[in-house]
Each structure stands twice: as C-alpha cells, then as structure tokens.
A and B are shown apart, each in its own frame.
Chain A
Amino acid sequence: MFTRLLWKLLHASRGRLVVALVALVSGAAVISALLNLQFNIERKLTQEFRTLGANLVISPARDVHSVGSGADSPAVMDQGVVLSEIEKMRTQEVVAAAPYLYIVAQVKTKPVIVAGTWLDEATKLAPTWKIAGGEVASREDGTSCLVGRNVARQLKLAPGEQLELTYLGRTARTTVAGIVDAGGPEDNQVFVNLPVAQELAGMTGQIGLVQLSINGASKTVAAYAQRLATALPGFEVRPIRQVTEAEGELLNRIRLLILSMVLLILILTALCVLATMAALAMERREDVGLMKALGGSITRIVGLFLAEVGVLGAVGGLAGCIAGVALSHWMGQRVFGTAISARWEIFPLTVALMVGAALAGALPLRRLGNVKPAVILRGE
C-alpha cells in the first residue's frame, strides 16, 4: 500500500517532479564534479610542480671536509652504495634520480664545467630544458654529450660536431648530440655520461652528489627523505629548500583557494536544492488534507512524503554523480590535459548530501500536522 501510494504520488505529478529532478541532477553534478576535483587537485598540482626539477640532494656528510683542503673542492663519495640503494628505493613517487660528478675540464685551453651524470635521467630531472638536436637516450653511451647554450655559443659548437675535453693530461672525445637551453647555470656546462667524467677525472666509482625529483606533497617528500637517510647513514640527504618550501607554501594557498570556492558552491547548490524541495512540499498541502480527511495518520502521511522526497534525492543524486564524473573528466582534460579519475567516495557523499538537502527541504511538512482538512478542502 505504502509503495503503491508512493508510486502514484511520483507518477501523478510527473511535470513538476521533472523540474525538481532537473534541479537535483544539475546540483548533484556540480557538487560531485567539484568534490572530485578537490580530492584530486593536490596530486595533479604536485605533478605540475615537478617541472621545478630536483627537490632532494644526497651528498657526502659534511664532516668529511678536512680542514685546509678548502671548501672549493667538494668532497666525493663512493657510487656503489648510494646508487644501489637508490635503485632499490625507486618507488612510484621517484620521478627521476641522477648522480653528478662535476669537474673543471679544458676545451682548447678554455676552462668549462663538465657534469658527469646519467643523461637519460638528467633530462627527466629538468623537464624545462629545451634541447636542440637529439637527446642521449642511454646512460651507457660513452661518446655523446649535451652542451649548454652558452658553451655552444662560445665554442661555436653545433649538434654533430666533435668536442675534445681534457683534464690533467687525460682526454675524452665526444660528439655533441644536442644543445641545452636551460635558462640557468646549466647553460654554461657540458653534460656527459658518468663513466666518461669519472675516467677523465681519474675518479672511477666516485660521484659528487645525487639529485632526486620526488613527486608528492611535502609530507611525502619528507618521509621519503627520512627513509633515504636511514638507508644511507654517513650521507647527507637534504631537501632543496628553494623548491620544497615555495612548493609547499604555494600548494597550501591554491588548495585553500579551491577548497573555499568549492565550499561556497556546495552551500549554494545545497540551498538551491533545499528551496526546490520546499516548494514541492508546500504544493502537497491539498493532498495532505485529503488524506487526513480519509483517515490517514499524520506520521504516515508525512512518512509518505518524506519517502517521496528521499527517493527523488537519491535518484537525482545518483544521476547527478554520473554527470558529475563526466564533467570532472572534461575539467581535467581542459585544465591539466589529463583526465581526472573518479574517486568512489564522491558517490555516497553526493547522494547523502542530496538526500539530506532534499529531506531538509521537506521539513516544513511537519507543520502539516496542524492542517485542518476541512479548511484545505474548502480551498482556503
């Protein structure tokens, strides 16, 4: 009987219900899309921030400086332990990691800084590099090098030309694979693969430092740094403050900004749904009068209408969620170039919010307890 009445109620006033449902669905769509965005924004933004490059550096512990050796010649460390540990700890959040060994070599009597690294990783570490010519795809390639823009300009180098590096009587012959335009100190450096630099320097198996680019919020990065530090006792693992501090601060602001906007819209949309449902409920006054006259108890009648409103809220919320997921997919494409994947949490959250708003809107129905059937049926 209850369900039949409910069905009749829903069926009889189709036109008006469609209007309410449209409001519910669009409200739920906006709410679920924004919630989805809010849940995903941090991950998307931290990915964007990785164009800043490395945010962690591993270097030899400070106390290995012997007094008198001077601070100008940075200490070196053994690559074996460090690199194997880094490979072992290469989790998803590691965007790139590369060792560096810097030496001041000579090119035709001109001193130039040569950085020995993994060329395949170094380009990932610095995604803003513009490379004219070709990249070096393998860290085993012992004959190719990348040349900074200023070096290429001063030495008049072009991709494909030969470059001879000398250091304390040793020489390394390389071919210029590409010219790096980095907009920074890298413009003044020559990049070769690590073994080339080690051989040139006569420091086989030695590296100066390791740079890592870790994806994630500041907590994730700090936790990873902590794990690295425990795995590598005797080495110094420190965050690059310029990157980590600014990034943390900016992320916070942006998150807060989006969150406050989303909350505003959430409240507005909930209010809108509430108003629609309240209007719908008030229109039921006549039905209530009739039911009361026929002997229905007020709890039963109110229960019936609340059920109606609840069903509407649930249906609208669910349909809106699906539309909202499509909307956030589009938003992700438009804003970040990649789709925002749907989080399952938004379904129960949105539906609950919708049902809640719909029921709150129907609350004035309680006042129907005072309705005098005779008055209403008279049409007053």
Chain B
Amino acid sequence: MFARLVRESFVRNPRRKILTAAALVVGMAVATATLTVALDVGDRLAREFRSLGANLLVTPESDTLPLEIGGVDYRPVDEGAYLDETSLGKLKTIFWRHNIVGFTPFLDVPAIVSADGVNLRTTLVGTWYEHAVPVPDGTKFKTGASATHPWWKVQGRWFHDDANECVVGAALAATNPGAFIIGKTITVAKSESAGQPQSLVITGIASTGDAQDRTVLVPLSVAQNLSGHPGKIRQLFVSALTKPADSLSERDPQTLSAKEYDRWFCSPYISSISLQIRQVLPGSDVRAIRRVADTEGRILSRIGILLWIVTLAALAGAGLAVAATAATTVLERRDEIGIMKAIGATNSVVAGIFLAEQVLLALAGGALGFGAGVGLARILGESVFGTPSSLRVVLLPVVLGLAAIIAILGSLIPLRRAAHFQPAPILRGE
C-alpha cells in the first residue's frame, strides 16, 4: 500500500517532480564539481608551484664557505668538498621518490675562455639540461635544469650532455658580440698555463636572469674533466612536491613520539623529504630554500582554506536550492494531505510517504547531478590547469547521502506545519 502510494504520486504528477529533481541535479552537480576541485587543488597547485624551481638545496656537509653571488660559485676548484654524481640516482629510491620532480647538479669552475683570439676570465657552470640519470632499479630518470630552472631561456638550443658543446650567458655574449655566435667554437682552459684547452661549440645564448648570464654553461662532464674532479658535483638543486607545513612538521623530529614520527616521515613535508635525501646521500647537508618553500607553503595553505570555504558556500547554495523546492512541493500538496488525513492517515504515515518520495528523488537527482558534476569538474580542471580532474568515485556515496539529507531536512519544516493542518478547512478550500 505504502509503495503503491509513493509510486502513484510519481506516475500521476511527474511534472511537479521534475522541478525538484532539476534543483537536485543542479545543486548536486555544483557540489560534486567543487568538492572534486577542492580535493585535487593542493596536489595540482603544488605541481604548478614547481615553476618557481627547486625548493631544496643539497651541499657537501664538510664544505668550506662557497663564494657565491647570484647563484654562481667563484671558489677555486681545489677548495671545499664535493658530492658524488653517481649516487644521485638514489634520490628516486626514497619513500617520497614520486614527489621528486627533478634535480640538477652544479659544478662551477673558474676558467679562461678564448674566443676569436681574445682571452676572458669567467666561470664555467657545469650542469645538466636534460639528462637521463640511471636509477638503481634499472630505469632512467630524465631531469636537469629544464625541471629545476624552468625560467631559463635559450636562443638557439641547449647543449647535449655528452657533446663538447656549450651555451653562453647573454651578458657575457654581449661583451663580445662578434665572438660569441651560435655555431662558432670557443676554447676553455682551467688557467693560462695548466691543462689542455678544450674546444666547445656554441649551441645557444642563454638568458637566466641571474649571475649565470655572465658565465658559460657547459655539460657537467665537461666541467668535471676540466676541473680535474671527474664524477663530482658542488651543489644539487632538488625540486620536490611538498605538503604545506603544519603543526606537526614544525616540531623537531627528535621530540616526536614513535607514532607521530611515522606520520611525519610518511607525509611529504619538506623536512621529511630533506631527511630522506640525507639518508641516501651521506655526508650531505640538505636545506629547504626557504624563499621558495615558505612562499609555496603559505599560499598553498591559504588557497586550501579558501577553496574549502568556497566549497562550503557551494554546498550551502545547493542545500538552499534543494530545500526550497522540497518545501514548495509539500506546500503545494496541502489538499492531498488534507484528504489523506480526512480518510484516517496519521501524521507519521503522511510524513513517511512524503519523505520516501523525497529520498527517492534525491537519490535519482543526486546520481544524475554527480554525473553532471564530474563532467563540470573535468571542464574546470581542463581550463584552469590544462589537465582534466580525475574521477573520484568516493564522492558518489557522499553526494547521494548529502542529497538525501538535504531533501529530508528541506521537507521536515513544511511537514511539521502539515501536521497541524486541520482536514476540514483544507477540504473546504480555505
């Protein structure tokens, strides 16, 4: 009987149901879309923030003071300590290996550059642009300055890692426009007297916006051979996806309890990733580049809060829409309620029929809305970040439950009022 009543109500007046269902679909679509975006946004923005470049700097622990201005180290090659290039692949074996977006080693060598018969004292910056690093598990990881210094621009092309090629900084090239031309060959030597000069073909003019503009950028192996330190590097810039700092990450790891330590270690905080890098590169000092890391953390956490507030607003809007239509349906059907009550239905039976209808509608509308919301989120992700958001099936029960709760809540108030209806005046048409 109960089921029949509910079914009858749907069959007899489908148009009225469509309005409520439409409100549910639109409301739940917006709720699904905003929830999907809010859940994704941390990861996606963190990836976008990698356009700021590296956020971790690895240096030898027992180093002397680098004489570094604007990113170029002017120390003589025989001073200070070095790290091993061969162990860099281990970076992709740490717990958070997938969060290591890229890393670039640097070895700066003061040198004499001869171009067109003119000798210039400058620095060779040995680095990778795009280098395939062997990882201990047998695969190769392609990384270099293209990942950690994405703002570096080149006119021409970058050097190949295994070739005797170089890229000249724009400011240096401007000092002698006749000599530093793409395609020409220059020779570099460690000093006037010592060492065999090395010939390098200029493949491009680089503009880095920093002190490297006054240097010659060369493949790492060239700098290593010239300096007499094969397989060694001075600095390593690491770009990692991290989670914004919170109360746990700000505490000293030594003071954490075992359980907290596990949680800290297994969260991609910049501090826990630093520790994991230190573990695979013994003798190194790993530091967060605070300018980048702090800015990123602050903005990420702010946008996170902001989006949750906006999502709450969306949920409130969706709730309002659904509740408003639910309320009107009850009000519109006063006559029906009057008749039911007149022929002996109790308040609970009336409420039961209405609530059952609303829940059925909510489930159908919610499911449709979820589908529409997923599409909406894909479009949003596509237009904002260039890649569509991933589908989160977990959200389906959440959205359905939400729709049902909102629809029930929206009907409760008018139903309470319906409980006070006196059948007689209603049937009289008053």
Contact = CB atoms under 8 A, between A and B. Distances in A.
Contacts of B123: 71-72
A373 to B, nearest CB: 16
A275 B322 CA distance: 10
Interface residues of B, number: 86
Contact of B317 (A27, A37, A74, A240): A27
A49 B68 contact: no
Interface stretch (A79-87, A159-167, A252-260, A294-302): A252-260
Nearest to A264: B30
A242 B151 contact: yes
B69 interface: yes
A299 B26 CA distance: 33
B30 A268 contact: yes
A257 B384 contact: yes
B5 interface: no
A182 interface: yes
Given A113-B68, A336-B302, A268 B26 contact: yes
A253 B380 CA distance: 11
Given A62-B175, A183-B287, A275-B23, A261 B320 contact: no
A65 B67 contact: no
A184 B292 CA distance: 10
A12 to B, nearest CB: 14
Give 10 nearest A-B pairs by CB, closest first.
A183-B290, A241-B209, A70-B121, A272-B321, A279-B328, A71-B214, A246-B51, A241-B151, A246-B52, A128-B294
B194 interface: no
Given A188-B68, A258-B306, A253 B48 contact: yes
A265 interface: yes
Given A264-B33, A269-B317, A72 B298 contact: no
A49 B291 contact: no
Contact of B324 (A70, A113, A272): A272
A150 interface: yes
A124 interface: no
Q: Is the interface of B mostly helix, strand, loop or mixed?
A: helix
Interface of B: 19, 23, 26-27, 30, 33-34, 37, 41, 45, 48-49, 51-53, 57, 64-71, 74, 110, 118-123, 149-151, 153, 169, 171-172, 174-176, 207-210, 214-215, 287-295, 298-299, 302-303, 305-307, 309-311, 313-314, 316-318, 320-321, 324-325, 327-328, 331-332, 376, 380, 383-385, 429
A185 B150 CA distance: 19
B320 A379 contact: no
B313 A33 contact: yes
A264 B376 contact: yes
Given A74-B214, A272-B320, A334-B309, A185 B302 contact: no
Contacts of B120: 67-68, 70-71
Nearest to A19: B327
22 contacts: A19-B324, A23-B324, A51-B294, A72-B122, A111-B65, A113-B65, A128-B295, A130-B290, A182-B291, A185-B69, A188-B66, A242-B52, A253-B45, A253-B384, A257-B307, A262-B310, A268-B314, A271-B23, A271-B26, A275-B325, A276-B324, A334-B305
A48 B295 contact: yes
A188 B298 CA distance: 26
Given A51-B295, A63-B174, A256-B383, A261 B290 contact: no
Given A279-B328, A331-B309, A268 B318 contact: yes
Contacts of B291: 51-53, 126, 128, 182-184
A240 B210 contact: yes
From B41, B52, B176, name the one whose CB has the most chain A CB atoms within 10 angstroms.
B52
B314 A261 contact: yes
B380 A260 contact: yes
A358 B305 CA distance: 32
Contacts of B70: 185
Contacts of A188: 65-68
B67 A70 contact: no
Nearest to A249: B51
Range of interface residues on chain A?
35 or more
A72 to B, nearest CB: 6
Given A154-B65, A335-B309, A272 B23 contact: yes
Given A113-B67, A184-B289, A242-B209, A68 B119 contact: yes
A104 interface: yes
A62 B174 contact: yes
Given A23-B320, A23-B324, A260 B384 contact: yes
Contacts of B19: 275
Nearest to B310: A261
Nearest to B22: A275
A71 B314 contact: no
B191 to A, nearest CB: 13
A333 to B, nearest CB: 11
A245 B151 contact: yes
A347 interface: no
B293 A183 contact: yes
A37 B306 CA distance: 10
Given A70-B122, A279-B324, A49 B65 contact: no
From A102, A243, A246, name the one whose CB has the most chain B CB atoms within 10 angstroms.
A246
A154 B79 CA distance: 14
Contacts of A37: 306
Nearest to B112: A70
Contact of A272 (B34, B289, B311, B317): B317
Contacts of B41: 257
B57 A335 contact: no
B159 to A, nearest CB: 19
Contacts of B210: 240, 242
B122 A265 contact: no
A102 B71 CA distance: 13
Given A183-B287, A261-B34, A26 B309 contact: no
Interface string A72-95: 101000000000000000000000
